[in-house]
Structure 1
């Protein structure tokens, strides 16, 4: 059985997520949406669903994001069948919408390294248990979500409340990026130079930020991979 990965744009790959899954012997089946790969209509033979980020929005005119409705439908199927889900950035926003929340514009770009506060309820979460009270992560978004009432908020910050959340028992949304390495950060900066210009210390901060993040990232993503492998 495969882990289905929905990748929206070149470069926004799974990085450390994929490494953790492959280390457990799991195989990734990647739908490269920019190349026109067909999105499965169901989840037969799928052990988990990972939906990555991209510059599109989880709301608005579908002509700008033709696969939006199909991706939301696939996420709803995963929630109904309790298939493990990990949504990153745009993927997290689509997960929230699939669960009954609402995507909307935020109050401006949040780009660069910065902390999130891990909430008290995260102490009982299968992925976030034992995470530090402040976790330094890479932000790269301008949209946000209003979470559905049954979502469990796991991490937040002053500008954007919905930074990490869980829907049900096995679906997580991460507005921020924990999956990145140095090459990924450079790719983001090269692909979105105007965004990167709003975080002038991005490149200089990356080595130290990654070193601090790595042990917590590895635990969090390893737990998700273990959950998937145990199915």
Structure 2
């Protein structure tokens, strides 16, 4: 089997509904808890797919959280080798930083389920399956689009919601992976943030219930399409 390694920062922010999809594409999934384990292991560098997950810290917070330097170095090495990378929220921001792009606070929080505005390139990408589909947003920072990368999606308050670089890098600011059936873990784990932002967790719970089934199908379509394109590209290089 192929190996997928996921760098995890908060225990409940895992690959969620993408777990079974990865298995169906022949990936054996293993987690590295980046806050307590060495993220720059040889296994993580050589894995067939590296997934860098989200977390409630800034991609520029290495002064407060020095382990981020190890992650940035690992990401940079994989980028140099053109090895497959999937970044989600914090993970996408770290990929952007490793590519030389700025990551900075937006000045507000974007939290809740809402659709994306796909770019022309986005409509021709695996993200096409998300046209009109509300996805979970949960962030207060945003990345600039790195040099050479392609912007795939935006929202009214965040112009850069996703980018790709070749066939081997996909970076998503939003949470395509979050399991709506486990939304209570997010609501409890991020209760302080929700309180500070004045967001009622009951509204998020209702949105997760309303959009969950369709989002699961759309998320699987996106990732299946991306993995198919990724595997075709990797085969062409070998």
Give the Cα separation in 1 of the matches to 2:48 and 2:230: 7
Give the Cα separation in 1 of the matches to 2:183 and 2:161: 19
Unaligned runs of 5+ in 2: none
Number of corresponding residues: 227
| TM-score (norm. length: structure 1) | 0.90
Give the Cα separation in 2 of the matches to 1:58 and 1:164: 16
**1:221 corresponds to 2:223:** yes
Give the Cα separation in 2 of the matches to 1:25 and 1:39: 23
**Larger proportion of helix:** 2
Aligned structure 1 segments of 4 or more residues deviating by more than 6 angstroms: none
Query: Aligned-pair distance for 1:37?
Result: 1.6
**1:111–1:195 contact (8 Å) kept in structure 2:** no
Name the structure 2 match of 1:177: 175
Tell me the SS of whatever aligns to 2:158.
coil
Give the Cα separation in 2 of the matches to 1:215 and 1:29: 23
Unaligned runs of 5+ in 1: none
| TM-score (norm. length: structure 2) | 0.87
Give the Cα separation in 2 of the matches to 1:184 and 1:167: 31
Query: Aligned-pair distance for 1:75?
Result: 1.2
Tell me the SS of whatever aligns to 2:123.
helix
Tell me the SS of whatever aligns to 1:55.
coil
Query: Aligned-pair distance for 1:134?
Result: 2.7
Instruction: Name the structure, 1 or 2, with higher relative contact order (CA <8 Å, separation 6+).
Output: 1
Change (3 A) 1:101 1:31: same
Matches within 5 A, 1:7-156: 7-34=8-35, 36-42=36-42, 43=44, 45-60=46-61, 62-125=62-125, 127-128=126-127, 130-156=128-154
RMSD: 1.9
